[in-house]
Chains A and B, each alone.
Chain A
């Protein structure tokens, strides 16, 4: 006797990015959750910087988008704090290579911990952070200093390895390269520095090249934003962003490079329009095609359409 089976129905309203938020606990759905989050992040950035300049942008809208970006960033930081465990292990030390393989499954185990989008407080039990003992050799455990913006303080997993020396020297390098910051930038820089100390990763070395460029970009950005609002929230955010974890390693910072302000009127003429292609570049790490950052990203028109469909869920 055959068992009664319920016919599965394809719910066409829940394809792609729409539908309920996918919990990152389910394996393949974690990818779509991450993709959704990344898409929302990119859309939010585009909204902040592509506004028509004639009238003042709505403060309410700006604040809500900023909050969205901050929330996503917080989440990424939480996740990013898990990654260095396997990232640092990939540094060229042979004894660690075995441990690298061990660390990887440990990481995916961690990745399956529930991370609800608005669950800011880390509920990660520390004992679940399995660490090969050799990684702890040169360890300097640190506690994360209170982050300057709204996010609550989160205790990092003990496996967090601080490559403090190389990082702080990198930071010094940056400060030498940058011009004297304005007060807002100084605040942002402090925030960024705090974050970096809490979440080092190999990407920081990677980032030091990108950093001076984006710092200058930031000062240009501050000039080009409509002077009204005193909101440096968005620019402060941008600084945090560039010192973030490896998820952003592949972002081509030329997207955020704006031409210096030449006239007093509005900012749109100075905004580099973020086209769909540039948007897709940031998503490149998530596509099946291996893409080297900073190389021109060529794609079929049909593939482009397909990805855009997935993004807007229509």
Chain B
């Protein structure tokens, strides 16, 4: 990996782990999304129980130059509650599918969090002062007897212990018949899109009672349905451009200026199938689980079951780079279909804004996660496990043995734990700090600083 100093690989060290230690995982604690805010100071996680936990990075201590600030809990709140859809007699899960931060405009922080049906705008604000010295009230709030008031005074603000409050400022509900899989804030910072299996809606952050439908792929006859929307994202710079991916491995780029309903794409990105790799499962493994634009907006990255692909927006017929995440699973697809693992939705992410570094990261099974260096074409497999939790010790690369004789320290495919999956990873926007979510724990790794 090319580090900022040039020529040095990034060496990842364990920094922190958050979450319960015991192996018995409470379902509500399963982490379902991880996201840094725009400055990287805050790190939010959402879980299956509908809670959002925000961690804040400590300010760097000048004396402790060998490590960056630690992340500590800043705020915890219940974002979504389970609901019951009486019309269909079905529960609506409170699981947080996605969190997206708004860029900071004032002292408060804002984020959007969504479950399957409802998006909420949360305001997270700090309170570290409170007014004291009221004339008519005691300090504990009881009213004073007016006859005892003999002088007047002006209440003043006095410092208090920091309190972080989260309050829902907007609730964007009742616009999605199907399950919301993505939200993406536009570069105008005024609008955002939300995508479900068949439709994409455009919202204004201030307006909750209506949204515009900009993509609708629902067929007139549901029996003809063969393809669904799996992810969508706005272009980072062009506020009229967005992409959405499908379960058939295609990505469509749409321009909202072309028409009100963007059912006709401006560009269609699709790689022709490799005939030598055809199987019963070709379609399922081609389904795209995540799409992310690069910071420049010139490239986009997609994740399907076995690979990560980088696309140049100017070239529709094939990706410019393809990285195999766990090719050794190709011969196990039947079992993975049977145990449903083939439907796991892995996310992917780009590294932060360090111009020297061009790395993409994604998760795998057995609590492994993978990084691909686009410059050197080298890749590395690392493990998120409490066994490696000595700070400042460089993580040891892992290797999976696909077939044949297993070397020492290698793990054979058959001993992989498919219940330990890393679906969500995030990279600090500015520094080489990464957050990796296992089932119910959040690991933070950083590069070894000299």
Q: Which residues of A approach B to under 8 Å, CB–CB?
A: 11, 13-14, 17-21, 36-37, 39-40, 43, 47, 53-56, 58-61, 63-64, 66-68, 71-72, 116-118, 149-150, 184, 187-188, 226-233, 236, 264-266, 312-314
Residue B332 lies at the interface, judged by CB distance under 8 Å to chain A? yes
B89–A59 CB distance below 8 A = no
Separation of A120 and B338 alpha carbons in the complex (Å)? 24
Separation of A254 and B331 alpha carbons in the complex (Å)? 34
A13–B413 CB distance below 8 A = yes
5 interchain residue pairs of minimum CB distance: A59-B197, A228-B88, A230-B222, A21-B279, A233-B223
**Are A20 and B331 CB-contacts (below 8 A) given A11-B403, A187-B221?**
yes
> Interface stretch among B57-65, B119-127, B280-288?
B280-288
Separation of A92 and B92 alpha carbons in the complex (Å)? 59
Separation of A18 and B197 alpha carbons in the complex (Å)? 31
B227–A56 CB distance below 8 A = no
A226–B279 CB distance below 8 A = no
Interface CB pairs A-B, < 8 A, 7: A13-B331, A14-B331, A40-B334, A63-B227, A187-B223, A228-B90, A231-B225
Supplied contacts A21-B280, A60-B197, 8 more A-B pairs, CB within 8 Å: A21-B279, A59-B178, A64-B284, A118-B278, A118-B282, A149-B223, A233-B225, A314-B335
**A56 and chain B: residue at smallest CB distance:** B90
B337–A43 CB distance below 8 A = yes
Residue B24 lies at the interface, judged by CB distance under 8 Å to chain A? no
A63–B225 CB distance below 8 A = yes
Residue B161 lies at the interface, judged by CB distance under 8 Å to chain A? no
B335–A54 CB distance below 8 A = no
Closest CB in chain B relative to A73 CB, distance in Å: 13
B335–A64 CB distance below 8 A = no
Residue B431 lies at the interface, judged by CB distance under 8 Å to chain A? no
**A75 and chain B: residue at smallest CB distance:** B280
* Chain B interface bracket (under 10, 10 to 19, 20 to 34, 35 or more): 35 or more
**A18 and chain B: residue at smallest CB distance:** B331
**Are A236 and B223 CB-contacts (below 8 A) given A20-B331, A68-B284, A312-B335?**
yes
In the complex, what residues of B have CB within 8 A of residue A233's CB?
222-225
A313–B334 CB distance below 8 A = yes
A117–B283 CB distance below 8 A = no
Separation of A133 and B222 alpha carbons in the complex (Å)? 45
A18–B334 CB distance below 8 A = yes
Give chain B interface residues in 390-438, CB to chain A under 8 Å: 402-403, 413-414
Separation of A228 and B403 alpha carbons in the complex (Å)? 45
B403's partner among A13, A227, A313 (CB-CB below 8 A) is A13
Residue B37 lies at the interface, judged by CB distance under 8 Å to chain A? no
In the complex, what residues of B have CB within 8 A of residue A55's CB?
90-93
**B246 and chain A: residue at smallest CB distance:** A60
A40–B337 CB distance below 8 A = yes
Residue B343 lies at the interface, judged by CB distance under 8 Å to chain A? yes
**B229 and chain A: residue at smallest CB distance:** A60
Residue B366 lies at the interface, judged by CB distance under 8 Å to chain A? no
A312's partner among B221, B247, B338 (CB-CB below 8 A) is B338
**Are A18 and B335 CB-contacts (below 8 A) given A228-B88, A232-B223?**
yes
Residue B341 lies at the interface, judged by CB distance under 8 Å to chain A? no
B337–A227 CB distance below 8 A = no
Residue B374 lies at the interface, judged by CB distance under 8 Å to chain A? no
Residue B267 lies at the interface, judged by CB distance under 8 Å to chain A? no
Residue B313 lies at the interface, judged by CB distance under 8 Å to chain A? no
B278–A21 CB distance below 8 A = yes
Residue B441 lies at the interface, judged by CB distance under 8 Å to chain A? no
In the complex, what residues of B have CB within 8 A of residue A229's CB?
222
A64's partner among B93, B222, B287 (CB-CB below 8 A) is B287
Closest CB in chain B relative to A19 CB, distance in Å: 5
Residue B228 lies at the interface, judged by CB distance under 8 Å to chain A? yes
In the complex, what residues of A have CB within 8 A of residue B414's CB?
314
**Are A226 and B335 CB-contacts (below 8 A) given A11-B403, A63-B225, A150-B226?**
no
B90–A54 CB distance below 8 A = yes
Give chain B interface residues in 164-189, CB to chain A under 8 Å: 178-179
In the complex, what residues of A have CB within 8 A of residue B331's CB?
13-14, 18-20
A117–B279 CB distance below 8 A = yes
In the complex, what residues of A have CB within 8 A of residue B362's CB?
none
A59–B90 CB distance below 8 A = no
Closest CB in chain A relative to B22 CB, distance in Å: 25
Residue B294 lies at the interface, judged by CB distance under 8 Å to chain A? no
A227's partner among B88, B273, B282 (CB-CB below 8 A) is B88
In the complex, what residues of B have CB within 8 A of residue A117's CB?
278-280
B332–A18 CB distance below 8 A = yes
In the complex, what residues of A have CB within 8 A of residue B278's CB?
21, 116-118
**Are A60 and B337 CB-contacts (below 8 A) given A116-B278, A117-B280?**
no
A56–B224 CB distance below 8 A = no
In the complex, what residues of A have CB within 8 A of residue B283's CB?
64, 67-68, 71
Residue B230 lies at the interface, judged by CB distance under 8 Å to chain A? yes
In the complex, what residues of A have CB within 8 A of residue B403's CB?
11, 13
In the complex, what residues of A have CB within 8 A of residue B226's CB?
63, 66-67, 150
Separation of A110 and B211 alpha carbons in the complex (Å)? 57
Separation of A149 and B224 alpha carbons in the complex (Å)? 7
B179–A59 CB distance below 8 A = yes
In the complex, what residues of B have CB within 8 A of residue A61's CB?
340, 343
